Amino acid sequence: MSQDPREALMRLASERGVSLAALSAMLGRNVAYLQQFVGRGSPKRLAEEDRRALAAFFGVEERVLGGAAAGAALVEVPWLALSAAAGAGADAADERPIRVERFAPETLAAAGIAPRTASIIMARGDSMAPTILDGDRLVVDRGDRRIARTGAIVVARRDGDLLVKRVTARGDTITLASDNPAYPPLTVPGLEVEVIGRVKLLLRAPA
């Protein structure tokens, strides 16, 4: 079983004969920074740059101080061979993965995405502009199919097509709304729409 990062830091500091205050100063932090980390659990985790600097100082791997184990730091998310139309609709027939994209676990966690339910698809069309542009990559959480009152952006299937829209429900109907005012909202029976998942991250190539 691996040692708790706080215990590991105390052990390393003791072995090296250096105080937590001195280490805090080395990091450019308040002298009480590491003492609070060890004694009060604040912060809960060391900042990445602080952990890296301490690991280099002590000559240990970052995982000893709470970093991810080498080779396990990145999560593979499948990129599906289909696109969701921010427009008229795209064929949803081909959902096979064509490659993977790798993410730091904390990136997915910060967006509230479970790695096992994440997938990437391409957006096509301009109906969700300026929020989502043609060619943007969307990280979809297939484990989150909630229809929010505020109109969360989701990928949904209707009549065999994939759409990326803001979706709200009222009674037994669902409204599919676009961010581009040139595209009017569409209200349909709820049974006609299957929410595939929520869009929680957007990846855009630099202009």
70 in a domain, yes or no? no
Contacts with 69 (C-beta within 8 Å, 6 or more apart), sequence order: 61, 63
Which range of residues forms the domain containing residue 159? 75-203
pLDDT single digits (tens) 86-132: 555 445 445 678 888 878 787 788 889 999 999 999 999 999 999 99
Count other Cβ atoms within 10 Å, centred on residue 103: 22
Active site residue 44: no
Name the amino acid, one letter, at 192: E
Of the candidates 24, 83, 119, 127, the residue annotated as catalytic is 127
Active site residue 178: no
Whole-angstrom Cα distance, residue 197 to residue 146? 8
* Backbone phi and psi for residue 8, each to the nearest 5 degrees, phi listed first: -65, -40
What CATH number is given to the structural domain containing 15? 1.10.260
For residues 164 and 125, is the Cβ–Cβ distance under 8 A?
no
pLDDT single digits (tens) 22-49: 999 989 999 899 999 998 888 888 888 8
Structural domain count, the chain: 2
pTM of the model: 0.62
C-alpha dihedral over 103, 105, 107, 108, to 10 degrees? 90
- Looking at the fold, whether 114 and 30 belong to one and the same domain comes out as no
Sign of CA dihedral 52, 53, 54, 60: positive
- Looking at the fold, whether 117 and 177 belong to one and the same domain comes out as yes
